[in-house]
Amino acid sequence: MSLFDHALRLHREDPDSPLFRDGAPYPDDAQHRGRKSRSQGPDDRRRSGADVAAVLDAHFADPSSVPGDLVGAVHDLDVPIHRNDHIAAAACRVGAERVRQTGRWLVQHATDRCAATVGLALLGTVWDEDDIPLIKTIGLLSNHFGPLAAHAMERRRGGSDALLWLAERVTGWGRVYVVESLCKVGSTGSRSWMLRRACDGDYLNRYFAGEVATAAHLHEAITAANPDREVIDHTGLLLTMMADSAGVGVTLDHYPPAPAVLQAHCAHAGQLDPSVERYLVAAELADYLNQTAARRMAWPEGGRERVLGGYLAVLDRDDWCTVARAGLAAGDQRVTWLARTLAPRLNLRAFTDAVDR
C-alpha cells in the first residue's frame, strides 16, 4: 500500500480527527526498521540532501526515466523531512511541469516513505493549487510529512485554508509544523482559529504558543470588552504554555504585552463558571507570578501584585474551591499534582485541610 493510500484509508475512518498514533505503523515500517543508510548523516550539515539532489539530477537528465525509477534510487539515502536547498535547486534545474508530474506520482503512489518525501519536496518547489488535496492527505502522516506539507501549502493560493484544515487533524510535532506555518501566512479565518484552538494541551505546544500570541494579536483579543469563553480559556492555556516554555519557545517575560494580557485574563476568567481546567490554569499562572521571571516584566507600579492577588482571590472563592476539592476526591491526577506542589506555595484554601503534607 502506498503511504498516500494508507493516510487516505485512515482519514476516511474518522474524517474530522487526527489519525490514531499519527498513522503508525506505516506500511513500509518493515523496510525501515533498523536499516542503515548509505550516508549516515553528513558531518557537514550543508551537505545534507546533496546525495538526493544528485539522484534527481541524473533522473531528470534521462528523458526516458519515469517517476517510479526514483523509488529504489532514494530508499537508502537520508532524505531530509524539512525543506532542503539542494533538493530545491535540483528541482529548479528542470521544467516545472516535469517536476510537478514526478512529485505528484511519488506522493500518490510511492510505497516507501523516502520516495514519498522526495515527491513532497518536489511539490514544495512548484505552485499549482491542484496539488493541495494530495499535500493535505499525505500531511496527515504529520510526524514525518508535516514539515514539507506545511511548507508546500505556504506557497499556494488557498494554502491558509488548507493549513487550517490540516491543523485541526494533526497533533504532536505535526501540529507544531502546521501551526508555525499558519503564523507565517495568516488570514482572518486562521486568526480566529489560533485564538481559540491552536493549543491542544500537548507539551509541544510550547514551541509555538508565543508565535500564536503574536500572530493572532492575542493582546487585542483578550483586552476587548467581551471576549467569548473560548478566547478566554485558550488565552489561559497559551499563557501557561509560555510560562513554561524556556528553551523551546517565547517565554512570558519575552512577550511584551504579557502584563496587560495576564491582567485581562485574570479579570475575565473570574467571571466564568469554575472548572478543573480553569482552576489549574489560574493556579499555574498565580505560581508563575511569584517567580523571578515574572518580576522582570514591565509592570506598572504594583501591577504584578494586583494580578497575583486577583488570581488568588478567584482560586479561594467557595465555588472554585468546591470544584477543586471534587477533582481531588475523584482522583484527578492533575489536581493531585497541584495539591502537592502549587497549593502549599500559594496557600490555596481548597487544599488547606484536604491533603496530608
pLDDT digits (tens, 9 = 90+) for 24-35: 999 999 988 876
pLDDT band for position 353 (cuts 50, 70, 90): low
Q: Is the pTM of this model over 0.95?
A: no
Torsion angle of C-alpha atoms 265, 268, 271, 276, degrees rounded to 10: -30
What is the spatial distance between Cα 11 and Cα 17, in angstroms, rounded to a whole number? Answer: 8
Flag whether pLDDT at 41 surpasses 70.
Answer: no
| CB 74, CB 50: distance < 8 Å | no
Low-confidence winner among 154-163, 199-208, 297-306 (lowest mean pLDDT): 154-163
Pick from 115, 125, 153: nearest CA to 137: 153
> Residue 183 CB: number of other CB atoms within 10 A?
21
Predicted local confidence at residue 126, as pLDDT: 94
- Percentage of the residues of the chain whose pLDDT score is greater than 70: 96
What is the spatial distance between Cα 282 and Cα 103, in angstroms, rounded to a whole number? Answer: 49
Predicted local confidence at residue 357, as pLDDT: 40
Mean pLDDT of the chain: 94
Pick from 158, 106, 151, 110: nearest CA to 132: 158
Flag whether pLDDT at 36 surpasses 90.
Answer: no
Q: Which three cell numbers stand for residue 351?
A: 487544599
Buried b (16+ CB within 10 A) or exposed e, 140-169: bbbbbbbbbbbbbbbebeebbbbbbebbeb
Give the 3-state secondary structure of 209-262.
Answer: HHHHHHHCCHHHHHCCCCCCHHHHHHHHHHHHHHHCCCCCCCCHHHCCCHHHHH
Q: How many CA atoms lie within 13 A of 54 on its CB side?
A: 7
What is the spatial distance between Cα 46 and Cα 42, in angstroms, rounded to a whole number? Answer: 8
| CB 150, CB 178: distance < 8 Å | yes
What is the spatial distance between Cα 305 and Cα 250, in angstroms, rounded to a whole number? Answer: 23
CA–chain centroid gap for 270, Å, is: 29
Buried b (16+ CB within 10 A) or exposed e, 102-115: bbbbbbbbbbbbbb
pLDDT digits (tens, 9 = 90+) for 251-276: 999 999 999 999 999 999 999 999 99
Flag whether pLDDT at 14 surpasses 50.
Answer: yes
- Give 58's contacts (C-beta < 8 A, 6+ positions apart): none
